[in-house]
Amino acid sequence: MKYTEIQDKLFELARVTDELEEMYIENDGEVTEATEELERQKAVIADLLNGEGLDDLGRWLKSKEDEIKTFEAEKDAVTRKIKSVENTIEFVKSTINTVMRATGCEKAKGVYYSFTPTVSTTTKADANILKERYQEAANKAVHEAGIPDYVTVKLDASVSLVPEGEDIPDVFVVTKKDTVRFTKPRGNRE
């Protein structure tokens, strides 16, 4: 059954139910041949909706859940491809840096592209160290402040909040890699 057919059957069921109720009211609850016929019609419609109707709705629901799984798998595949391309970009930049350093070139400027060797430094908090050292105390402080036990704290740290002049705490991981600054031709701004 299609959705519109299910809706039609629901409207028909409501009409038969209302008609049946009116008959019972008019006849002071007496069962007649007409009420028995409406009861049979109501049962047939209910059986159809509970059988074929629910099965078809179940098929529709399953197809939509499968569609989400397909999209998620595609998203995961695209994410992996993006990561692969990002890794290739980093590899190419590293190789350009190696070539430039080996040849003593401080800046390469071609007709369209130019490169300047540089070192990329990234600083990131180590989630495992943060959790190991501070998670219990953070949750305890939050709960002692009156926040319910089912609320938890997720810890993060920002190197930009370390006071200037202080050493970077060991909860941060500093990664340095040779790369290049890459300048590309610019399009017209119209």
Tell me what pLDDT residue 109 has: 86
Q: Would you say how long the chain is, in residues?
A: 190
- DSSP for residue 168: P
**Residue 51 phi/psi, 5° resolution?**
-95, -90
Tell me what pLDDT residue 190 has: 63
- DSSP for residue 122: E
**Tens of pLDDT, residues 53-106:** 999 999 999 999 999 999 999 999 999 999 999 999 999 999 999 999 999 999
Q: Average model confidence (pLDDT) for the chain?
A: 93
Give the residues across from 118 on adjacent strands.
179
Tell me what pLDDT residue 67 has: 97
Q: If 0-12 CB within 10 Å is exposed, 13-18 middle and 19+ buried, where does residue 151 land? A: exposed
Give the residues across from 124 on adjacent strands.
173
165: region left, alpha or beta (phi > 0 left; psi from -120 to 50 alpha)? left
Does pTM top 0.75 for this prediction? no
Mean pLDDT of 122-150: 94
**Tens of pLDDT, residues 26-61:** 999 999 999 999 999 999 999 999 999 999 999 999
Whether the pLDDT of residue 189 is over 80: the answer is no
Which stretches does DSSP call E strand in the chain? 108-109, 114-125, 172-183
